[in-house]
Structure 1
Amino acid sequence: MIIPVILSGGAGTRLWPASRKGYPKPFLDFDGSGSLLQKTWQRVAQLADSQLPLIITNRDYYFQSREQLKQVSGKADFLLEPVGRNTAPAILAAAHYVNERYGAEAVMLLVAADHLIHDQAAFARSAAAAARLAAQGKLVTFGIKPQFAHTGFGYIQAGDAIAGSEGCHQVTSFHEKPDLAKAERMLAEGGYFWNSGMFCCTAGQMLAEFAEHAAHVSDAVRQCWDVSRADNEHWHMFALDQDSFGKCPDISVDYAVVEKSANVAMVGAGFDWSDIGSWDAVAALGEQALPENVINIDSQDCYFQTGKRVVAAIGLENLVVVDTPDALLISRKDRAQDVKKVVDRLKAEGSMLHEVHNTMYRPWGSYTVLEEAAGYKIKRIEVKPGQSLSLQMHHHRSEHWIVVSGMARVVNGDKEFLLGPNESTYIPAGHVHRLSNPGVIDLAIIEVQSGQYLEEDDIVRFEDHYGRQ
């Protein structure tokens, strides 16, 4: 029995401005064939002997994750983190989940939602080899044969081959991200592999490894699990307790356990693999079909990701150009890792551009800020069929709703009524109100806000279908 566990978190700061805290990189679709999360789910769901995948993600990403799976007819269970505490607490919480639900001998296949793998058959063979070693009590990692002297990955030194398991080795040592000279030396010596960050282990063995090598993490997560288990009645959406999980150490599984254990085996991956961690990695995926709105005149070796605007590129070389409605990135490919410095600068300056896009996703649909200035803000709001915003009130702003398409059910003060296209209603500040979509097609409205304070925290919720406060 294999339980695929998908780690789906992280802000993806080196993929700014496409990836932001409010819409991180697992949700991004780089070539129109599906998001990284969708592709990861499809990859693990096809494995033989696999159960329903378990996705570990922040609770703020639950509804968007569920919507993305729905688009590919996918189903999964969810383990929801209240805050990010790195991979060790997340993986250990997943081990408790799998142990209690499926048993200590169930094999966990831990994969990241932001990796790209095309060769499904080769991935399945490597996963099966790892599962066999995990069933024998091994903590298994996946090593990627280096294509060049990469300084952005950790390395695994492979030791003796494991009898009866082709391409599998005992692990001799782990090495942190090296400088170029060391990376070139390891590549020349051979026997070194990139550390993919994917693992395979039984739930019981993972619990034992943490108890032996990281007791402080083991104890903290156990306390969180005990509290969380008492508060959760079902397994399909399992929320971890906020207070106790927030006290767990912020540490990676590599530092906590993997690099300390003498029980680690490595499967030499027979599949292609890309860690989509920066724009140069995206650009290296293959020759790009230029977006239709890019006018290219004598530009070479450039990568473009654009929105609706026409982008004219004349005589450019070796650049990454990423255009979004509120931010434009232009970088040399060999400086793509420094995008994180831009995000750090935005944080230091108090800008929200590192966190949110113009379009924000909500359990009921989404809204896009079209224009804003002192005293007013204009939004396009889309509500999915059968969904509803919370019953709410604002102290500082009034709102005017105009229906563009679909049918709206409106609560405005003590009145409830339907609005169709080209119809509107005015909601004064202090009025209790709600917007719902009773129809079978998407509802789109234009909302014009006016007032002296227009931020999203001016919401008093009286009733909410999604459990928000």
Structure 2
Amino acid sequence: MILPVIMAGGNGCRLWPLSRELYPKQFLTVSGEQSMLQQTVARLTGLAHQLPLVICNEEHRFIAAEQLHLGGFKHSGIILEPVGRNTAPAIALAALQALKFAKNDEEPILLVLSSDHLIKNTAAFQSAVNKAIPFAEDGQLVTFGIVPTSPEIGYGYINAGAMKGDAFTVNKFVEKPNLETAQDYLDSGHYYWNSGMFLFKASRYIEELKLHHPDILTACEMSLAETKSDMGFIRINKAEFELCPNDSIDYAVMEKSDDVVVVPMDAGWSDVGSWSALWDIAVKDENNNVTKGDTLTVNTSNSYLYSENKLIAAVGIDNLVIVETKDAILVAHKDQVQHVRNIVSDLKRAGRTEHKIHREVYRPWGKYDSVDCGPRDQVKRITVKPGAKLSIQMHHHRAEHWVVVSGTAKVTNGDKTILLTENESTYIPIGQVHALENPGVFPLELIEVQSGSYLGEDDIIRFEDLYGRC
């Protein structure tokens, strides 16, 4: 039976400012009512499969777990990568974990999927997977080639060889071409877009990795030698995994193996690699515009407008992307959106935070919105989910004032525990051990005013935490 492996990594630069380093695009809802991660798991319904295994960065663990929970999706675990090491090691971790827990000598067949792809035709996707299963059962490494619809220069390509039933042998993998070469590929009919989706036995992947890149396999085996599990998260050895080479599955295995076949897939696939790609696949109005949120347009065409918080009024523009979030606005020509990553790099070099986090930050207990910030003060709106509790903590450099806007707060303030309701407040001095909890059945909303010489999030000493952050 198939074991889906959902790769939920990413650094959040191509769809900035909506995506961030700590909130990459697989967690965004860009099409439909579900995030791309949720859509990836939902797409499995109808296939015969085990509970999926998810792989994500440790910093994204609570977002991934929360989205799976909200979508009603069960899973067999979330492997946490302490550092990013690309797809070859990530899949090796999944394969080793699958073999470790295989029952009755059943050979796990891994269906490796990226969580940040959009696929319009689920039936066509599942049909391609089912066609690939016999090849995987026979020991072949299957990659899925997307039937190209245009001379794309942003994708790698697969050159198909001889037909083998529902699949083709693979002559070669090729890098992203220039436009003229891409057109030649399209005209030939022998090339497919490289989707980054795969199907193979876990043992066969391990065999090929041992043959072609044994240092990756060794590092992953050492990383999994002693794991720790809590709340569905599978924590590996950080020191061992940091020693693992950084390499993709294409370079480490697929391009070197003699047992690779490609199964064509024509399912309305997109990796949503840019704002222009998102405009391409979205439903447009009579002026060829895509609009999300509070927008008004006059004499505007061929544009993508996304408002998260403020009104966007566009007059007399064409072929632009305008994206507004609470702390940033992007204005770009659709033909130049590939350079958004340069803005992200500039933000990093300048020591700013807009590339890393949103003004509104999600936590396992709820979220907070940094409404205002000065050199010695900061104002946050904090939302705590029913039954949730923040860690027992203290701060060396800041004091805090809490004012309840709605709901009920259970506050530990030193050696006292009190209940606060609407319009009531408390003061947390510097160095005071404290905690916040929502004992009610409705969300708790409060305003927090911080004051002090240093207001960074790293000025938190945790003594006890429900979410393993001590």
**TM-score normalized with structure 1 length:** 0.96
SS at match of 1:184: helix
CA distance in structure 1 between the partners assigned to 2:62 and 2:145 by the alignment: 33
Please list every run of 5 or more consecutive structure 2 residues that lacks an aligned counterpart in the other structure.
Answer: 285-289
RMSD between aligned residues: 1.4
Question: CA shift at 1:106, angstroms?
Answer: 1.1
Q: Does 1:316 align with 2:312?
A: no
Question: CA shift at 1:31, angstroms?
Answer: 3.7
CA distance in structure 2 between the partners assigned to 1:420 and 1:105 by the alignment: 56
**Corresponding letter in the other structure for 1:337:** Q
Matches within 5 A, 1:51-70: 51-70=50-69
Structure 2 partner of 1:248: 244
Q: Does 1:158 align with 2:154?
A: no
**Corresponding letter in the other structure for 2:281:** L
Matches within 5 A, 1:143-154: 143-154=145-156
Question: CA shift at 1:235, angstroms?
Answer: 10
Structure 1 partner of 2:287: none
Contact kept, 8 Å, 1:104 with 1:203, in 2: the verdict is: no
CA distance in structure 1 between the partners assigned to 2:199 and 2:461 by the alignment: 45
CA distance in structure 2 between the partners assigned to 1:56 and 1:292 by the alignment: 32
Structure 2 partner of 1:354: 355
Structure 2 partner of 1:91: 91
Contact kept, 8 Å, 2:12 with 2:23, in 1: the verdict is: no
CA distance in structure 2 between the partners assigned to 1:175 and 1:235 by the alignment: 41
Question: CA shift at 1:220, angstroms?
Answer: 1.6
CA distance in structure 2 between the partners assigned to 1:427 and 1:351 by the alignment: 29
**Corresponding letter in the other structure for 1:258:** M
Contact kept, 8 Å, 2:209 with 2:216, in 1: the verdict is: yes
Structure 2 partner of 1:101: 101
SS at match of 2:43: helix
SS at match of 1:14: coil
Structure 2 partner of 1:224: 223
Contact kept, 8 Å, 2:276 with 2:337, in 1: the verdict is: yes
CA distance in structure 1 between the partners assigned to 2:186 and 2:421 by the alignment: 65
**Corresponding letter in the other structure for 2:336:** R
Deviations 1:230-254 (A, max 9, x none): 3336894211211111110011111
Q: Does 1:276 align with 2:272?
A: yes
Deviations 1:363-420 (A, max 9, x none): 1111110001121100011111111111111111110001111111000011001111
Structure 2 partner of 1:410: 411
CA distance in structure 2 between the partners assigned to 1:58 and 1:47 by the alignment: 28
Matches within 5 A, 1:7-22: 7-22=7-22
CA distance in structure 2 between the partners assigned to 1:21 and 1:293 by the alignment: 26
Structure 2 partner of 1:210: 209
CA distance in structure 2 between the partners assigned to 1:12 and 1:191 by the alignment: 33
SS at match of 1:216: helix
Contact kept, 8 Å, 2:170 with 2:262, in 1: the verdict is: yes
Contact kept, 8 Å, 2:293 with 2:308, in 1: the verdict is: no
Structure 1: 4+ residue segments shifted above 2 A: 230-237, 286-292
Structure 1 partner of 2:260: 264
Query: CA distance change for structure 1 residues 31 and 265 in 2, over 3 Å: closer, same or farther?
Result: closer
Structure 2 partner of 1:201: 200
CA distance in structure 1 between the partners assigned to 2:304 and 2:371 by the alignment: 27
Worse-superposed segment, 88-97 or 72-81: 72-81
Contact kept, 8 Å, 1:213 with 1:260, in 2: the verdict is: yes
CA distance in structure 1 between the partners assigned to 2:449 and 2:293 by the alignment: 32
CA distance in structure 1 between the partners assigned to 2:112 and 2:402 by the alignment: 46
Question: CA shift at 1:183, angstroms?
Answer: 1.1
Structure 1 partner of 2:123: 121
Deviations 1:290-323 (A, max 9, x none): 3352110000000011112111100100011110
**Corresponding letter in the other structure for 1:105:** E
Q: Does 1:5 align with 2:5?
A: yes
Structure 2 partner of 1:290: 291
CA distance in structure 1 between the partners assigned to 2:382 and 2:85 by the alignment: 33
Identity over the aligned pairs, expressed in percent?
45
Question: CA shift at 1:116, angstroms?
Answer: 0.4
CA distance in structure 1 between the partners assigned to 2:141 and 2:272 by the alignment: 25
**Corresponding letter in the other structure for 2:20:** R
**TM-score normalized with structure 2 length:** 0.96
Query: CA distance change for structure 1 residues 231 and 308 in 2, over 3 Å: closer, same or farther?
Result: closer
> Number of matched residues?
462
Contact kept, 8 Å, 2:143 with 2:261, in 1: the verdict is: yes
Please list every run of 5 or more consecutive structure 1 residues that lacks an aligned counterpart in the other structure.
Answer: none
Give the one of 220, 233, 236 matched to 1:237.
Answer: 233
CA distance in structure 1 between the partners assigned to 2:43 and 2:408 by the alignment: 38
CA distance in structure 2 between the partners assigned to 1:63 and 1:233 by the alignment: 14
Deviations 1:308-359 (A, max 9, x none): 2111100100011110111110111111111001111111111111101101
Q: Does 1:134 align with 2:133?
A: no
**Corresponding letter in the other structure for 1:42:** A
Structure 2 partner of 1:396: 397
Structure 2 partner of 1:177: 176
Structure 2 partner of 1:430: 431
CA distance in structure 1 between the partners assigned to 2:12 and 2:414 by the alignment: 42
Contact kept, 8 Å, 1:393 with 1:460, in 2: the verdict is: yes
